[in-house]
Structures are given as structure tokens and as C-alpha cells.
Structure 1
């Protein structure tokens, strides 16, 4: 008689931080002064670094140099709002991306850091 062994993998446990608002305002750069300074003095480097952490192509923000409304900055804001369920408008995204790009990138970086969910395995056994 044969016996059947069933092995079940533990499910990931996530601490959800749900909110439909941005975690910080567009001008809350004082929350992280070094990050704000990097964004102000070297926006392309900061935007590329933030885009990479978000899981997109590292050099994607460099395409913003070719248009009046920075398409990548605006797209990242819209994508982040959709991913995290933040209520805002595309009109505001367009205004922030066009006239306050460094503040916009800082806000997105703070939001990613605030909503960073670590996956913790519970009851995992090494067999």
C-alpha cells in the first residue's frame, strides 16, 4: 500500500497599509532632505533611481527631455496611483509633472517607501 504525502507551501503574510490618499503632500520635501536635494540638483539621476526601484526600466525617465509635458513622470504618477489606489486626477498629475517635476518624483519615492510591503513567510520549515 502506498501513502501519499502532501506538502503545502506557507502563504505569504502581508501587512496592508491601505489609504486612498498620498502619504505626503507634493511639497513635503522636508521629510527627507537628502533625497530632496538629490532630486533638485540631479533630477535625471534621481528619477532613474526611483523608476528602477518601482520595477521599470532604469533609463525610462530620460525620455522626458523630448516633450513639453513629461510623459514618463506623468505615467509613473498615474501608475503609482493605480497600484496603490490613490484618488487624484490626471489633470493634477499633468500639472505636477510639468511644473514641479522634482517635487513629484520625491513624492513618488516617499510613497514607495511608505507602502513597501515586506513578504514574511510564516511556519516555513526546512525539510
Structure 2
């Protein structure tokens, strides 16, 4: 007799939110002090960690720091626009560009906070031994 485990895979679930706004303001990074400190003292590390959690390449944000994009941090701006699209947050590409150019650490803190607040935990259920 062999032991066989049958696992039922969870189905994706989307959580509907009433608000189409960011869950934190652009200057609310001090609400999560460890995150704020990491973003301030080591922004490249913080951006790479956040990008990986979002599902992008770990090293993608480093493009902004090497200077391939010119004055506007293109990766930061595009990730902010992508996050707005994914979560249904109102805004414009112009505001994404302005915030990303002049407040990059705050933008990354805001995006990290948004992902934490909208995170859906996947739990394995229905595992049975046969």
C-alpha cells in the first residue's frame, strides 16, 4: 500500500476594494519606519526587493540608478503605472512621472505599502492522505 497525497489547488481570488485611491499618501512613508529607513539609507536594495515581490526581475530597478533612462526614472514610473493599472487606482502617467522623478524613495515606499495592504495569502486546503 502506498501513501499518496492529493492536494486541491486554491483558485485565484480577487479582493474588491471600494476605493480607487492609493491606500497611503505619497508622504506617508513614516507610517512604516523600518521600510522608510531602508528606502532612505539603501534605496537600490529596497527597490530590488519591492520589484521582486511585485513579480518583476530582481535587478530591473537598477536601470534607474545606472542612468540609462536619462533624468526620468523610467522603471520607477512604469512600475507605478503598472501598479495603478493592476489595482484599479486612479491617476495619470503625468503624475506617475512627476512623483517618480522628484520623490522616488516615497514612491517606492507607497508601492510597497500598497502591495502589503492588497496582499492575498494563498493557503493550501483540502490536503488528504490516501
TM-score norm. by structure 1 comes to: 0.84
Selected match of 2:99 from 72, 96, 101: 96
Selected match of 1:72 from 70, 75, 82: 75
Distance 1:12 1:122 in 2: 11
Structure-1 residue corresponding to 2:109: 106
Task: Please give the per-residue CA displacement for 1:19-78, whole angstroms capped at 9, x wherever unaligned.
Answer: 311110000012101110110111111101100111111111111131200000001001
Give 1:126 deviation, angstroms. 3.8
Distance of aligned partners of 1:11 and 1:59 in 2 relative to their CA distance in 1, 3 Å threshold: closer
Segments of structure 1 that go 5 or more residues without pairing to the other structure are: 1-8
Give 1:16 deviation, angstroms. 1.0
TM-score norm. by structure 2 comes to: 0.83
Runs of 4+, deviation exceeding 2 Å: 9-15, 119-127
Secondary structure of 1:68's aligned partner: coil
Structure-2 residue corresponding to 1:84: 87
Q: How many pairs were matched up?
A: 121
CA RMSD after TM alignment? 2.1
Secondary structure of 1:45's aligned partner: helix
Q: Which has the larger radius of gyration?
A: 1
